Chain A
Amino acid sequence: MRAIVFATGYAPALTSLNERHDSVSLPLLDRPFLQHVLENLVDQGVTGFDFTLSRKPEFFESLFGTGTRWGSSFRYHLARDPEFPYRAARAIEVYFKQNPDEPVLVGHGDRLPLLRLAELRAGAGEIVMWYEAATDEAPKWTGWALVPARLLAEFPVQTDETGLEEFLRNQPAAPQLQTVAACLDFRTYEGILKSHWDAVAKVIPNLLVSGREVEPGIWLSRNVSLHPTAQLKAPVYIGENCRIEAGVQLGPQAMIGQNSVLDTHCSVTGSAVLPGSFVGEGLELNEVIVDKNRLVSIRFGVGVTVADDFMLGTLAQNPITSWLQRTLSQLTGLALLLLSWPLLLLTALVLKIVRRGKPVWYVTEVVKLPAAGPELDWKTFKLVSFTPDRRGTGWFSDLFLRLLPGLLNIAKGEAGFVGVQPRTKEELAGLPTDWQALLRQSKPGFITDCMVRYGNHPTPDEQFSSETFYAASATWWQDLRLMAGFVGKLFLPSLPTERENERVSERG
């Protein structure tokens, strides 16, 4: 049997954690939730998967590969809108043309119900839908169903999960409704925590977890440094390479993700600490999810970024190459500033005379990149320039009016020679989400890919493609090429940009 898994990561209730994770890539104990879904289904005899991804698809494509590791075959599909992923089902239907009545398992990758596929009895072409056991509310659909392949072509396109449920329930042949005993659900903060305690309690049997249960409900992974005075109350899970210091109290209900450090006398109860986090001395965590320096309260459903590293922080190290690159850029900026300060003063003097009363300096508060967290947490710096235009004004004026005074920012390490156009908080916040997310991982600079390729008046599409391309794939080699391109324009201004090339050919 083949499974179609919609794993777009759409979870509006997880906004506070959305920056680094989505509902399918968030870890359940030691691995991304979607991997548990996949492994559980492989264990039940599913032999092929069609994953529909949207947010960071490259992460799962590289993690899962072709599926040979699980003796399975994987295909990946991309959904433009994570909220409406069902259009992909129409493309997948192509592969079932020969056998349109073949039963296909369809489900959502942010839930793992206790399906017992081996015990399933369904007639040819019958639809089966799995529901959670009713408590005080109406039974909730788990998001999983078995459908004949031909139905994929009719899946509603512009609809959410409720629409899909309605579509399946309203088929001419009434579906068989089954109740599951348990369902792990990663769409809400409460669901994430409950899924952890259910997983540790083995509510879903055969869930693959690294580490071993040293006492009932106490799980330790390899290479954990646990101080003898630390107290553990089940259920507790501690991931690989964690360090638990003296006097720490863990549990009941504590999940510590791999590569985390818990400093002395802190306590974690009813909470999950995601991988690579640091919990400071004496901190008491109760009903929260900690993701590095981000703290999400389950009771209030809100997240805050903790600025003080001694309380909560990240243990991820910056690669040495990026540190070297930054330092080299700073030193070069400083050296050039020392060499060119007479020219800087002379330019200021000339502008003072030419501009007659108009400002010579322009100082703009722009966002320091990379910028993590919500807009409120973005740090800014003062960008110094002889012109209010931050996009570029012309090759020589760029050199004298932007790059020369910008050496101050480069020497201070606030910007690089090459980067993306510096933007104010308002400008950055006003960009489309994906564009903004990519730029926030980049660095600001005075020479941009966009300016070298398209000159100073790019169209929005040109600016989008060149900025996102630079943000996603910048290397020191690319920076050097762009610098060479800029210098080339200074000394060989006859070299046309791509835009100028097009204008010439249009005229021709």
Chain B
Amino acid sequence: MPLTTEEMNGVLVVTIHEKALDASSVKQFKTDMTPVLEHAKLVIFDLSQLEFVDSSGLGAILSCLRQLTGKGGDLKLCGMTKPVRALFELVRMHRIFDILNTREEALHTIRR
């Protein structure tokens, strides 16, 4: 899965360059995220290019959050497109994740 990572003031911003995070792509996403999560503690997922997420995608992002919070880190999500944001709100994932509108908001609020 095409992912790019940028380090900004000690925070790793991961951009997912994929339109869908579903059963067909989630395995690759998890594989690609494994080394990223091993080294980073503060992570922001920029989901601005993602247009569809299914339950496997939700589960995969949730698993990233568990791994990061398990070692005292933090994960924030930002830049969601309307359909993805609507899904996160419908399944009440906004009560689990910090969802910010923009990367700037996320960088501004992530605890360092």
User: Which residues of A approach B to under 8 Å, CB–CB?
Assistant: 54, 56-58, 61, 75-78, 80-81, 87, 90-91, 93-94, 434-435, 437-438, 449-450, 453, 461-462, 464-466, 468-473, 498, 501-502, 505
Among residues of A, the one whose C-beta sits closest to the C-beta of B26 is: A498
Contacts A/B (CB < 8 Å), 20 sampled: A56-B89, A58-B89, A75-B101, A78-B98, A80-B97, A91-B108, A94-B102, A94-B104, A450-B55, A453-B56, A465-B55, A465-B62, A466-B59, A468-B55, A469-B54, A470-B55, A472-B91, A473-B90, A473-B91, A505-B27
A498-B87 in contact (CB<8A): no
B108-A434 in contact (CB<8A): no
Among residues of B, the one whose C-beta sits closest to the C-beta of A79 is: B94
Among residues of B, the one whose C-beta sits closest to the C-beta of A435 is: B92
A80-B96 in contact (CB<8A): yes
Asked, given contacts A465-B59, A502-B30, whether A438 binds B91 with beta carbons under 8 Å apart, the answer is yes
B59-A93 in contact (CB<8A): no
Among residues of B, the one whose C-beta sits closest to the C-beta of A89 is: B109
Q: Which residues of B contact A461 (CB under 8 A)?
A: 59, 62-63, 66
Q: Measured between alpha carbons, how far is A471 from B97 in the docked complex, in Å?
A: 19
B27-A462 in contact (CB<8A): no
> How near does chain B come to A125, taking the closest CB pair, in angstroms?
21
Asked, given contacts A90-B108, A94-B108, A498-B23, whether A469 binds B91 with beta carbons under 8 Å apart, the answer is yes
B25-48 interface with A by 8 A CB criterion = 26-27, 30-31
Q: Measured between alpha carbons, how far is A286 from B41 in the docked complex, in Å?
A: 58
Given A80-B97, A502-B30, output 6 extra A-B contacts at Cβ < 8 Å: A54-B94, A77-B101, A78-B99, A91-B101, A469-B55, A505-B31
Whether a CB of chain A sits under 8 angstroms from the CB of B86 is yes
Asked, given contacts A58-B90, A78-B89, whether A469 binds B58 with beta carbons under 8 Å apart, the answer is yes
Q: Which residues of B contact A80 (CB under 8 A)?
A: 94-98
Whether a CB of chain A sits under 8 angstroms from the CB of B14 is no
Whether a CB of chain A sits under 8 angstroms from the CB of B100 is yes
> How many inter-chain contacts with C-beta < 8 Å in the A-B complex?
92
A434-B100 in contact (CB<8A): no
Among residues of A, the one whose C-beta sits closest to the C-beta of B53 is: A469
Q: Measured between alpha carbons, how far is A277 from B99 in the docked complex, in Å?
A: 36
Of B26, B54, B95, B104, most A-chain CB atoms within 10 Å: B95
Q: Which residues of B contact A87 (CB under 8 A)?
A: 109
Whether a CB of chain A sits under 8 angstroms from the CB of B6 is no
Q: Which residues of A contact B99 (CB under 8 A)?
A: 78
B94-A449 in contact (CB<8A): no
> How near does chain A come to B111, taking the closest CB pair, in angstroms?
10
Q: Which residues of A contact B97 (CB under 8 A)?
A: 80
Whether a CB of chain A sits under 8 angstroms from the CB of B105 is yes
Among residues of A, the one whose C-beta sits closest to the C-beta of B66 is: A461
Among residues of A, the one whose C-beta sits closest to the C-beta of B102 is: A94
User: Which residues of B approach A to under 8 Å, CB–CB?
Assistant: 23, 26-27, 30-31, 54-56, 58-59, 62-63, 66, 86-87, 89-102, 104-106, 108-109
Main secondary structure of the interface of A (DSSP, over half): helix
Among residues of B, the one whose C-beta sits closest to the C-beta of A62 is: B86
> How near does chain A come to B101, taking the closest CB pair, in angstroms?
7
> How near does chain B come to A484, taking the closest CB pair, in angstroms?
13
> How near does chain A come to B108, taking the closest CB pair, in angstroms?
5
Q: Which residues of A contact B30 (CB under 8 A)?
A: 502
Q: Measured between alpha carbons, how far is A77 from B104 in the docked complex, in Å?
A: 14
A468-B91 in contact (CB<8A): yes
B27-A501 in contact (CB<8A): yes
Q: Measured between alpha carbons, how far is A54 from B101 in the docked complex, in Å?
A: 15
Among residues of B, the one whose C-beta sits closest to the C-beta of A76 is: B101
Among residues of B, the one whose C-beta sits closest to the C-beta of A453 is: B56
Residue in contact with A473 in the complex, picked from B56, B62, B87, B100, CB distance below 8 Å = B87
A93-B108 in contact (CB<8A): yes
Q: Which residues of B contact A501 (CB under 8 A)?
A: 27
> How near does chain B come to A500, taking the closest CB pair, in angstroms?
11
Asked, given contacts A58-B86, A91-B100, whether A468 binds B109 with beta carbons under 8 Å apart, the answer is no
Q: Which residues of B contact A435 (CB under 8 A)?
A: 92
Q: Measured between alpha carbons, how far is A466 from B60 in the docked complex, in Å?
A: 11
Of B30, B55, B89, B96, most A-chain CB atoms within 10 Å: B55
Among residues of B, the one whose C-beta sits closest to the C-beta of A93 is: B108
> How near does chain A come to B70, taking the closest CB pair, in angstroms?
12
Q: Which residues of B contact A471 (CB under 8 A)?
A: 91
Among residues of B, the one whose C-beta sits closest to the C-beta of A153 is: B108
Q: Measured between alpha carbons, how far is A498 from B54 in the docked complex, in Å?
A: 13
> How near does chain A come to B65, taking the closest CB pair, in angstroms?
9
A449-B31 in contact (CB<8A): no
Q: Measured between alpha carbons, how far is A450 from B58 in the docked complex, in Å?
A: 12
B109-A91 in contact (CB<8A): yes
Q: Measured between alpha carbons, how far is A437 from B92 in the docked complex, in Å?
A: 10
Among residues of A, the one whose C-beta sits closest to the C-beta of B28 is: A505
Asked, given contacts A461-B62, A469-B54, whether A57 binds B108 with beta carbons under 8 Å apart, the answer is no
Q: Measured between alpha carbons, how far is A81 from B96 in the docked complex, in Å?
A: 9
> How near does chain B come to A144, taking the closest CB pair, in angstroms?
24
Among residues of A, the one whose C-beta sits closest to the C-beta of B96 is: A80
Among residues of B, the one whose C-beta sits closest to the C-beta of A458 is: B59
Residue in contact with A468 in the complex, picked from B66, B92, B100, B102, CB distance below 8 Å = B92
> How near does chain A come to B50, taking the closest CB pair, in angstroms?
15
Of A56, A437, A462, most B-chain CB atoms within 10 Å: A462
Nearest 6 CB-CB pairs, A to B? A469-B55, A434-B92, A465-B59, A465-B58, A472-B90, A468-B91
Q: Which residues of B contact A453 (CB under 8 A)?
A: 23, 55-56
> How near does chain B come to A392, taking the closest CB pair, in angstroms?
16
Q: Which residues of B contact A78 (CB under 8 A)?
A: 89, 94, 98-99
A464-B62 in contact (CB<8A): yes
